[in-house]
Structure 1
Amino acid sequence: MAALLVDDRDGVRTLTLNRPEAFNSLTVELKELLLAALTDAAGSSDIRAVVLTGAGKAFCAGQDLNEHVAALRSDDPAPFRTVAEHYNPIVRALTGMPKPVIAAVNGMAAGAGASFAYACDLRVAGESTKFLMAFATIGLTADSGASWTLPRLIGYGRAMEMMLLAKPVTAPDALSLGMVTSVVPDAEVLSTAVELASRMAAGPTTGYGKIKEALLTGAGADLEAALECEGAGQTVLGATADHREAVAAFVEKRTPTFTGR
């Protein structure tokens, strides 16, 4: 059974973490497959939006602890090399993807799995979804970018509470905190995310990419750097066919047709 399912349809790539018997916990194999699929999606003109979800009853339970315990017991001198080799590159691929990435969060999202959801641009959660940051319970700190993404979603104080107390956040609370974009019935999570991705895939995807770039820059830069990034993006986008099509459609009172160029 493939650890990652890849489905390309109508410009949308749906990536399904496919270890349902282990709550889609992350092995080296799964992380490498996910990173490769994200990298390929970023460079493919045929893919204009991405959906990330999990098979079965969970989105992702985080690191596969059986694999981690084996590394510890083998006296591996660098049991956490996976952070630099897999987790960090995956988060960079999600945040830096020049097209929208939507997490369809079904069931539990814990540890690095939750962090992957935070790194996506939008998050559709099921009614039974819970987010859990339990690093402290096993004597570890945050990884997979959660120390950066989570406070920007819900604020420093709430993020600290989640990290230190390892208190699960339910879907309704996640919605009120701004952690997720919407909450839908569990059976509708994937279809809702795919519908949203399909709608965005038909939009000005080059513009979406520059919006992501501007917000990513602005989140960690001073005003001058943010202004410079915005200006550079507008210069590029002003010369695109999508911008010209949108202006023409506005003047002609019709719906624009975007090509991502």
Structure 2
Amino acid sequence: MADAEVLLEVDGGVAVVTLNAPDRRNALTPDMAGRLIEVFDQVDAQPEVGALVVRAVGKSFCAGGDIATLTSAGQDPAAPDAYDGMSRIYDSFYRLGQVRVPTIAAVRGSAVGAGMNMLLATDLRIVASDARLIAGFLKRGMHPGGGHFVILLRLIGCGAVAAMALFGEEVNGTKAVELGLAWESVDDADVEPRALELARRVAADPELARVAVGNFRREVVNGAVSWEVASQFERPAQMWSMRRQAR
């Protein structure tokens, strides 16, 4: 449905997930987050899919948690509905990080708070040169949530994490590449085409893409392992891929 807040299209082995709530700058509500989780489940269930691109409609990638949702939860954070709603928002970007194919965030406009967590959950980020990447939690009077410190530290150094998450420094696309927060910074109009170009490349072999990204995350993303351990992770996968070619 074109008017749904989360859209899913699959073309040529690439799943494109679109955040489609531009009137509130794609800020996440519990319902929208729940739909994201459902969509990521659908992607995993389609073996012909070999990559996923997350993009957004409008001027913002994602403005974080919806203000009305955050305000309501703040009245009584331990209330079951409030707790469950916030958990669903946390779970949406955590679930993105578990999708079984390589993932790319195509980021235009601003990404704030939970929106930052969404792009940090992906394997690769292509951002507009004039993008605005903002942690933003403390400015709202909130402690960072969703494991923000950890997933930011996976990409950039401790000082840069402090600058963004504690001291409120805003980062544009050019600076994001300099820090290692993004792979490439391009003109706004080129963000999605570039992300799709990369996604189609790895999606050409979806079976291999799924195996490779699993080991990439085990070895690199979720805490670096030793060379010896990495060799053991990779051995069966490489032997499987070689045997597959010989068939």
Q: CA deviation at 1:216?
A: 3.1
Q: 1:63 aligns with which of 65, 77, 80?
A: 65
> Hey, what does 2:44 align to over in structure 1?
42
- Any conservation in 2 of the 1:104–1:123 contact (CA below 8 Å)? yes
2:215 aligned with 1:210:
yes
What runs of 5+ residues in structure 1 fail to find an aligned partner?
A: 249-261
Q: Which residue of 1 aligns with 2:89?
A: 86
The SS at the match of 1:125 is strand
Secondary structure of 1:59 counterpart: strand
Alignment CA distance shift 1:231-1:141 (3 Å): same
Identity of aligned residues (%): 29
Give the SS at the match of 1:62. Answer: coil
* Greater shift in the superposed pair: 45-54 or 75-84: 75-84
Give secondary structure in 2 for the equivalent of 1:123: strand
2:190 to 188, 191, 195: 188
Matched length:
241
**Does the CA-based 8 Å contact 2:215-2:233 persist in structure 1?**
no
CA deviation vs aligned residue, 1:91-138 (integer Å, no higher than 9, x gap): 332222222000000100110111110110000001220100111112
CA–CA distance in 2 between the matches of 1:174 and 1:53? 17
Superposed counterparts of 1:1-261, under 5 Å: 1-73=3-75, 77=79, 79-87=82-90, 89-203=91-205, 204-205=208-209, 206-219=211-224, 223=226, 227-228=228-229, 230-240=231-241, 243-244=242-243
Matches of 1:83 and 1:230, distance apart in 2: 39
CA contact (8 A) 1:14 1:53 kept: yes
Write the distance in 1 (CA, Å) between the matches of 2:191 and 2:65: 23
Moved more, 210-219 or 129-138: 210-219
1:141 to 1:26, Cα distance in 2 relative to 1, 3 A: same
Q: Is the 8 A contact 1:23 1:58 kept in 2?
A: yes
Q: Runs of 4+ in structure 1 displaced over 4 angstroms?
A: 73-76
RMSD: 2.2
Instruction: Give the partner amino acid of 2:183.
Output: T
- For residues 18 and 115 of structure 1, do their structure 2 counterparts lie closer, same or farther at Cα, with a shift above 3 Å needed? same
> Secondary structure of the equivalent of 1:157?
helix
TM-score of the superposed pair, with normalisation by structure 2: 0.88
Task: Name the SS of the counterpart of 1:45 in structure 2.
Answer: coil
What is the rounded CA distance, in whole Å, between the counterparts of 1:19 and 1:190 in structure 2?
18
CA separation in 1, counterparts of 2:103 and 2:20? 18
Structure 2, unpaired ranges of 5+: none
TM-score, normalised by the number of residues in structure 1? 0.84
In 1: Cα distance, 2:93 partner to 2:69 partner: 21
Q: Which has the higher contact order (CA 8 A, sep 6+)?
A: 2
Q: Cα–Cα, structure 1 residues 244 and 144, in superposed 2: closer, same or farther, change >3 Å? A: same
1:144-171 per-position Cα deviation (integer Å, ceiling 9, x unaligned): 2321111121111110111112121111
Letter of the structure 2 residue corresponding to residue 218 of structure 1: G
CA distance in 2, matches of 1:31, 1:144: 13
Supply the distance in 1 between the matched residues of 2:239 and 2:86 (Cα, whole angstroms).
39
